[in-house]
Amino acid sequence: MTVFRKLVRFVEEENLFYRDEKILVAVSGGIDSVVLLHMLLKMEVNCAIAHCNFHLRGDESDGDFEFVKNLANSNNIPFYSKDFDTKAYADNNKLSIEMAARELRYEWFNQILELENYQYIAVGHHADDVAETVLINLVRGTGIHGLTGIKPKLGKIIRPLLPFTRKELEEFAESEGLNYREDSTNRETDFVRNKIRHQVIPVLEQINPAIRKTMSENVQRFKEVEQIYNDVIEENRLHLVFQRENQLLISIARLQELPSPSSHLFEILSPYGFHHRDVRMIAKSLGSISGKRFFSSTHQVLRDRKYLILSELEENDSSEYLLEEKSGLIEFPMEMEASFIDRTPSFKFPSNPEIACLDASKLKFPLKLRKWQQGDSFRPIGMKGNKKISDFFIDQKFSLQDKENTWLLISGDRIAWVVGHRLDDRFKITATTTKIFKLEMK
């Protein structure tokens, strides 16, 4: 099968695009993108060129621009180009140069697609890129999704060259008499991908000369395994996850019945910014007490009695929950048992910080539960002066998560209890106390 026929077959099998659709081709000037453009034009596809000048290689970058511009002119097709200050963008956003360039180009590509009504953006990834990507993911740590390489079609991005190795593309370019630009940085090993390409794969080729073909075959098998995995996850999700207003409830009992709770949790929670380490901590909490909270940059998970409750983080959580003057179970925002008891000679002060015994006569009901706020202060039991809550957190070596998990019990306008940690001296039990209000965390 010729290279061209192989391309046509792949486009049809993967349903990448229809011949009458407009395709924006990302052309750097290198062999991959030049071959891609040539093949698409040979298919008589309606093409245009998009070229990014990242200004990372001085005159060489400017030479790429001129080459690609002439390529567009010689083929009489539309040409779009944009200059980027990639290093400044990387510094300002604390990104690697690779990631900065990726963000910049795809944001710009999407703008062109929308403004000029192109259906897809075609990029020149090939089989060697697939092998390199899998190895990079393995080194950095990955689940099953990271072993499936690069997808032929993802949203508006299509990759028609995935069936071809770089060697095949080089042979095709030579047979067609195609000119292209060599990127000098491809020979450097400062970037992770180049280390894999120039140092790791050559060693693997000594063990298996057909390593690229083997990796492609592995990827196909991994894709089949991923499909089975996804089907099982989605089937179980129907019995695990429930929607309640703006919250997702994950059944703890049903989760614990599954053979791999962590895998299910990761697939449910990862779209909300939770990483593997976060999920491991959440999974460990399944057998512990309720009330624990876990945070991503945008969401939180509350370990309640029966459910893990996923909700979006509010920028300023000023929610207040009232505690009326009565005994009984408090379920939200945390589970506690409230009771009134008489002070007797046999009464013993609890040593457990998760139990608060307060002088009932000094409390102003209804009490309130809320998160701490800047400027909050209280009088830790045994002290005569006040202490800022923020300073108390520092003394106790609280992590950011500890701070976010901490609630305050408020009586009137005073903090009576840093819940689970320290009582306020003004509400302590004394010799004159006759009635005690007891709160016990569950």
Same domain for 91 and 201?
yes
**pLDDT at residue 316 is higher than 60:** no
Q: How many CB atoms lie within 10 A of CB 286?
A: 15
How does residue 315 score in pLDDT terms, banded at 50, 70 and 90? low
The arithmetic mean of pLDDT across residues 62-87, rounded, is: 94
**Mean pLDDT across 166-195:** 84
Q: Are residues 353 and 417 in the same domain?
A: yes
| Residues 178 and 81 grouped into a single domain | yes
Is residue 360 a contact partner of residue 435, using CB atoms and an 8 Å limit?
yes
Residue 432: per-residue pLDDT: 92
Check residue 157 and give its pLDDT: 96
Which contiguous run of DSSP H or E holds residue 133?
A: helix 127-140
pLDDT band of residue 59 (cuts 50, 70, 90) is: confident
Q: Are residues 301 and 341 in the same domain?
A: no
Residue pair 427/335 in contact by the 8 Å Cβ criterion: no
Report how many domains make up the chain: 3
pLDDT surpassing 70 at residue 1: no
Q: Clarify whether residues 308 and 324 are in a common domain.
A: no
pLDDT value of residue 29: 94
Q: Which of 295, 312, 329 lies at the terminal end of a domain, its last residue?
A: 312
pLDDT bracket for residue 191 (50, 70, 90): confident
Q: What is the mean pLDDT of residues 335-352?
A: 88
Do residue 278 and residue 366 come from a single domain?
Answer: no
**In-domain check, residue 418:** yes
Q: Is the per-residue pLDDT at 427 higher than 70?
A: yes
Q: Are residues 259 and 148 in the same domain?
A: no
pLDDT average, residue stretch 253-259: 93
Q: Is there a domain that residue 103 lies in?
A: yes
**256 class by beta-carbon count within 10 Å (0-12 exposed, 13-18 middle, 19+ buried):** exposed
Q: Establish whether 278 is an annotated binding residue.
A: no
- Would you say residue 188 has pLDDT above 90? no
Kindly state whether residues 306 and 339 are assigned to the same domain. Answer: no
Q: Is residue 359 part of a domain?
A: yes
Last residue of a domain, one of 280, 312, 344: 312
Q: Are residues 389 and 372 in contact, defined by beta-carbon separation less than 8 angstroms?
A: yes
Cβ neighbours of residue 200 closer than 8 Å, sequence gap 6 or more: 135
At 382, which CATH number?
3.50.40.10
Over the stretch 114-125, which tens digit does the pLDDT of each residue have? 999 999 999 999
User: Is there a single domain that holds both residue 278 and residue 338?
Assistant: no
Determine if residue 311 is labeled as part of a ligand binding site.
no
Residue 441: what pLDDT?
A: 87
pLDDT of residue 190: 64
pLDDT exceeds cutoff 70 at 318: no
Q: Is 269 part of any domain?
A: yes
CATH code at 169? Answer: 3.40.50.620
**Average confidence (pLDDT) over 354-381:** 92
Domain residues for the domain of 437 are 320-441
199-207's contacts with Cβ under 8 Å and 24+ in sequence apart are 200/135, 201/131, 201/132, 201/135
Residue 206 one-letter amino acid:
Q
CA distance 364 to 361: 8
Ligand-binding annotation for 33, yes or no, is yes
The mean per-residue pLDDT over the stretch 301-320 comes to 80
What is the reported pLDDT for 189? Answer: 64
Pair 35, 134 in one domain: yes
Percent of the chain scored above 90 by pLDDT? Answer: 59
Q: What is the pLDDT of residue 314?
A: 66
Q: Does residue 132 belong to any structural domain of this protein?
A: yes
Q: Among 312, 339, 368, which residue terminates a domain?
A: 312
* pLDDT bucket at 63, cuts 50 / 70 / 90: very high
In the predicted model, is pLDDT for residue 52 greater than 90? yes
pLDDT at 112: 95
Instruction: For the chain, give the mean pLDDT.
Output: 89
Average confidence (pLDDT) over 314-327: 75
Using an 8 Å Cβ cutoff, are 122 and 158 in contact?
A: yes
Domain contains 238: no
Residue 383 domain-assigned (yes or no) = yes
Mean per-residue pLDDT for 33-49? 95
Residue at 302 is within a domain: yes
Same domain assignment for residues 306 and 325: no
Q: Which of 47, 250, 217 is nearest to 148 (CA)?
A: 217
Residue pair 368/410 in contact by the 8 Å Cβ criterion: yes
Same domain, 305 and 345: no
User: Does residue 31 have a known ligand-binding role?
Assistant: yes
Query: Is omega for the bond preceding 163 within 30 degrees of 0, making it cis?
Result: no
